[in-house]
A and B are shown apart, each in its own frame.
Chain A
Amino acid sequence: MGPVLTVLRKDLLLAWRNRSGWASAAAFATIAVLTYSFAFDLATGDVRPLLPGVLWTTFLFAGVFAAGQSFQDEVEDGTFDAMLVAPVPATAIFAGKLAANLIALLIIEFAQLLLATILFDVGLFTPELLGIVVIGTVGYVSLTTLLSTMGGHVRGRSVLLPVLVLPLLVPLLIGAVRATGAALGLESGTAPWMLLLGVFTLWSTLASVLLFPVAVER
């Protein structure tokens, strides 16, 4: 656990000191929710059925954007290569980075839930919905973290990352949107969608943890 916590503390400290990356992800998410709310309000009277889709597309885009941003500095300063030389398992480094990204993203997402509560006039802070958000976030953060840390030297990485990640995340998007809809009472039964979400999250976390050491091997 030692190295994991060290990497986690280092990443959170860096994220706090160099706030611009995460702040722009948060600003991006906010502007996305506002734009959706405004645009859909023009088109339809009842925007509530659209809320799950609004939330999850915002979360995914903000997550991919933030993952690329947070890793940019590491690549530019060459600190990532230095960290890989350290005599700790690569899995521990990955777990630390994953946890740091997860914490930062959850903070952004809760802010968006608060904003959506105001804009859409729906109670979003139920235990069930918070559970869906946390599980879904773990599921996509593991893949975005893996794919963003790997392509350090690849040109045009920031544009490439969403193109790579989003098709892989389609099952998560389906599960999360439907589960959120069910939790809001828009359709009945969260159980099958929670199962899908859980299976995907388990799979993506396992695959990322197993493949990270192979991927960063020099």
Chain B
Amino acid sequence: MNLSSLVGTVLARADQWRWTVMPPLVGVAMMAMIVGALVAAPREIVQGEVQRLMYIHVPSAVIMYAAFFVTAFSSVMLLWKRDMRWDAIARASATVGVFLCAMVLLSGAIWGKPTWGVYWSWDARLTSTLILFLIYTAYLLARSVAGPLDEQAARYAAVFAIIGVVDIPIIQMSVRWWRTLHPQPTVFTPDPALPNEMLLVLLIGFVAVFALAAWLIMLQSDTERASQRVTALRAEVDHREMA
């Protein structure tokens, strides 16, 4: 079985689940995350209650990257297969990625004020996250100025999305050469420095945000597909009326 048919099968299966399995899964996971973050997780000694933002901030940041990679992958597939379904998926995951990126920037600002004393600083990670936000809102803007079935605009946006994703490591390298305020990685190391209870809640946070993002991408690409079909039908009606 080749890659694209495998992806197609997985997507079709997930598509069947979008109103059965996904809503309760997302609901339960989000509830677990909220209860875990607000009640179950221990209070951090130095930073206090505001540290509880971590349970949404960190998963949102990681899943945001995943969403942008889905956009880039779908863009490659669009250029390769010339199938507009990939355009719908690319747009949907970019929309969800931009939403998560806004969440990350916002929760980061709220976290930063009591911890660093400022809402915003031109720190390396803040800067690169903001640039990502700008690139993918520009992508959505570039795609939305043309109709849902405009293949040339879709190809244009796809090329831009690919350039954007390849630019990410260079942006990160360039901004890292400034001094950074951000904590050094404490989670993705062989011996995590986080206590077990916190780690567990963080893990639940990952599952919850992942499920939410996946569900939103499904629903949004459904919507994009529907608007593609409406456009096609409208064109057909116009065509028949002319005849």
Q: Which residues of A contact B (CB under 8 A)?
A: 143, 146-147, 150-151, 153-156, 160, 163-164, 166-168, 170-171, 174-175, 192, 196, 199-200, 203, 207, 211, 214-215, 217-218
Contact between chains at B153 and A203 (CB < 8 Å): no
> Known: A160-B145, A211-B159. Contact between A153 and B152, CB under 8 A?
yes
Max chain B C-beta neighbours (<10 A), residue from A164, A175, A207, A217: A164
List 7 tightest A-B contacts by C-beta distance, closest first. Answer: A171-B174, A167-B134, A215-B159, A167-B135, A164-B138, A174-B174, A150-B156
| B155 partner, pick from A170, A175, A215, beta carbons under 8 A | A215
**How many residue pairs bridge A and B at CB < 8 Å?**
75
23 contacts between A and B (CB under 8 A): A143-B163, A146-B163, A153-B152, A153-B153, A154-B153, A155-B146, A166-B134, A167-B138, A168-B135, A170-B131, A170-B175, A171-B173, A171-B174, A174-B174, A174-B177, A175-B174, A196-B174, A203-B166, A207-B163, A214-B79, A215-B155, A215-B156, A217-B155
> What are the residues of chain B within 8 A of A167 when measuring CB–CB?
131, 134-135, 138
Kindly provide the distance from the CB of B202 to the nearest chain A CB, expressed in whole angstroms: 30
Q: Which residues of B contact A (CB under 8 A)?
A: 79, 127, 131, 134-135, 138, 141-142, 145-146, 152-153, 155-156, 159-160, 162-164, 166-167, 170-171, 173-175, 177
> What are the residues of chain A within 8 A of B156 when measuring CB–CB?
150-151, 154, 215
Kindly provide the distance from the CB of B159 to the nearest chain A CB, expressed in whole angstroms: 5
> Known: A167-B134, A196-B173, A203-B170. Contact between A151 and B163, CB under 8 A?
no
> What are the residues of chain B within 8 A of A143 when measuring CB–CB?
163
> What are the residues of chain A within 8 A of B155 when measuring CB–CB?
214-215, 217
Cα–Cα, bound, A37→B90 (Å): 44
> Known: A154-B153, A167-B134, A214-B159. Contact between A174 and B142, CB under 8 A?
no
Max chain B C-beta neighbours (<10 A), residue from A143, A154, A166, A167: A167
Chain A residue at minimal CB-CB distance from B133: A167
> What are the residues of chain A within 8 A of B162 when measuring CB–CB?
211
Contact between chains at A171 and B167 (CB < 8 Å): yes
| Given pairs A168-B135, A171-B171, A215-B156, 19 additional interface contacts (CB within 8 A) | A143-B163, A146-B163, A153-B152, A156-B145, A163-B141, A164-B138, A164-B160, A168-B167, A170-B127, A170-B171, A171-B174, A175-B174, A192-B177, A199-B170, A200-B170, A207-B163, A215-B155, A215-B159, A218-B152
> What are the residues of chain A within 8 A of B170 when measuring CB–CB?
171, 199-200, 203
> Known: A154-B146, A192-B177, A203-B170. Contact between A211 and B138, CB under 8 A?
no
> What are the residues of chain B within 8 A of A211 when measuring CB–CB?
159, 162-163
